[in-house]
Amino acid sequence: MPRRHAEDASVGEDSFLDTIANLVGIMIILVVVVGSKTKIDAEAYGRELAEKTPPAEWDEPVREVRALQQSLLDTQDQLRAYDLENAYRKLERDNLLVQVSLAREAVEKHLQTLDKDKRASIEQEQKLKTLQSKLNEMTEKMGAAEESKRPKIVLEHLPTPMAKTVFHREMHIKLQDNRVSLIPWDRLVDTLKQQVPLAARRNASRRSLEDTLGPIGGWMMKYRMLSVPGGMELDRFELEQVSTDEAEPIEQACSPSGRLYMELASRNPAETVVTVWIYPESFDTFRKLKMYLFEQGFLSAARPMPDGLRIGASPSGNRSSAQ
C-alpha cells in the first residue's frame, strides 16, 4: 500500500511539472507574438510620420533658417575676398615703398658721384635760398605796414620755351579741377598690346570691334579696332577715370608724401618727359606744376583738353612737344 501511494505521488508531481512547462511555453509564444506585432506597428507608425507633410506654419521658420545659412555663407565669402584684397594692397604698398627707397638710394649715389664744382654750386644755391629767406623775414618785420599798402609785383622767370618733339619715355598726368591724377599709361598700353592680338583672332570676321579693359590703377581703357587686309588694327583708345580718390591738390601732390613726388623720385629726369592733360579750369594750376617739374629737372608737355572730352590717343596721332 505505501509503495503504491509513492508511485501515485510521483505521477502527480510529473503532471504538475508538465503543466508548468506548458504554461511557460504558451507565455513565451505570447511574448513573441506581441513583440512582433509591436515592431510591425512601430514601423508602420514611423512610415506614416515620414510620409506626413510638415504643417504649413513650419515653412516660414525653415525658409528663414535657410536664408540665414545662405547669408552666413555669403558673408564668409565676402570676408575671404576682403582678406585677399587687403593682402594684395599691402603687397602693392610694400612694393611702392621698396621702389621709393631704391630711387632715393640712386639719387644719393648720383649726388655722391657729382664733381666738386657741382657740389659747390648746389651748396651755394642752398645758402642763397637760406639768405633770401632771412632777408624776406627781415623785410616783413621792418616794413610790414608799408608793404601791406604797396601793390606787390612778382617776377617769375622760366627759360624761354623751346618746343621739341618727345621721343623719351613719357609720364602722363591728368590736371582737372586743380587736382593731379597719375595715369598708368604704360601699364594700360602693355595690357592692350597683350589683349589686341587675341581679340583680333576671335573677331577676324567682323568689320570693327569695340571693347574695354581694366580697371588698372583706377582707370579704364575703351578701344576700337578696324578690319584691315590680313587682320585687325587699333583705330583709337580712350581713357576713363573710374575713381578720383587718388586725385590730389597740387600742394599735396608735390609734397614728400604725394603720389606725384614719389613717382618722379623713381624716374630719371634725363630720360622722362611729363605730359600733362589740362582741362580749362586748371591752367593757373598748370603754371605751378610746370615750375615744380622744372625745379625737379623734368621737361613738360601740355595737352589742353576741352570740357567733357576724354583723354585718348590713336596710332596716327601726334607726339607731345616738350618745353
Which pLDDT score, from 0 to 100, does residue 232 have? 72
The answer to whether residue 127 is domain-embedded is yes
Where in the sequence is the domain holding 137, given as residue range(s)? Answer: 118-149
Count how many domains the chain has: 4
* 255 and 134 co-located in one domain: no
Helix (H, G, I), strand (E, B) or coil at 198: helix
CA-to-CA distance for 18 and 22, rounded, in angstroms? 6
Walk along the chain (323 residues) and give the pLDDT tens digit of each residue. 455 555 555 656 677 777 888 888 888 888 887 777 777 777 777 777 666 666 666 677 878 888 888 888 888 888 888 888 888 888 888 878 888 878 888 777 776 676 666 667 777 777 777 777 777 777 666 655 444 444 443 334 444 444 444 446 888 989 888 888 888 898 888 888 888 777 777 776 777 778 888 788 888 889 888 877 777 778 888 998 888 778 888 888 888 888 888 888 888 888 888 898 999 988 888 888 888 888 888 888 888 989 888 888 877 654 444 44
CA-to-CA distance for 255 and 297, rounded, in angstroms? 16
CA-to-CA distance for 147 and 139, rounded, in angstroms? 9
The answer to whether residue 174 is domain-embedded is yes
Which pLDDT score, from 0 to 100, does residue 172 have? 92
* 93 and 173 co-located in one domain: no
CA 187 from chain center: how many Å? 15
* 125 and 107 co-located in one domain: no
Which pLDDT score, from 0 to 100, does residue 212 have? 87
The answer to whether residue 179 is domain-embedded is yes
* 178 and 104 co-located in one domain: no
The answer to whether residue 52 is domain-embedded is no
CA-to-CA distance for 300 and 272, rounded, in angstroms? 9
Bridge-based pairing of strands 299-304 and 272-278 is parallel
CA-to-CA distance for 210 and 203, rounded, in angstroms? 11
* 176 and 298 co-located in one domain: yes
In this structure, what are the phi and psi dihedrals at residue 206, rounded to the nearest 5 degrees?
-90, 155
* 7 and 93 co-located in one domain: no
Which pLDDT score, from 0 to 100, does residue 55 have? 64
The answer to whether residue 183 is domain-embedded is yes
**Exposed/middle/buried for residue 66 (C-beta within 10 Å: 0-12, 13-18, 19+):** exposed
Q: For the chain, how far is it from start to end, CA to CA, in angstroms?
A: 155
* 97 and 126 co-located in one domain: no
CA 137 from chain center: how many Å? 47
The answer to whether residue 81 is domain-embedded is yes
**Cα distances (Å, whole numbers) of residue 205 to 123, 230, 281:** 66, 11, 45
* 194 and 171 co-located in one domain: yes
Helix (H, G, I), strand (E, B) or coil at 224: strand
The answer to whether residue 285 is domain-embedded is yes
* 95 and 197 co-located in one domain: no
* 104 and 183 co-located in one domain: no
* 133 and 214 co-located in one domain: no
The answer to whether residue 25 is domain-embedded is yes
CA-to-CA distance for 121 and 113, rounded, in angstroms? 14
Which three cell numbers, joined as nine digits, stand for 66? 535657410
In this structure, what are the phi and psi dihedrals at residue 234, rounded to the nearest 5 degrees?
-70, 130
pTM higher than 0.75: no
* 187 and 249 co-located in one domain: yes
- Residue type at 306 in one-letter notation: P
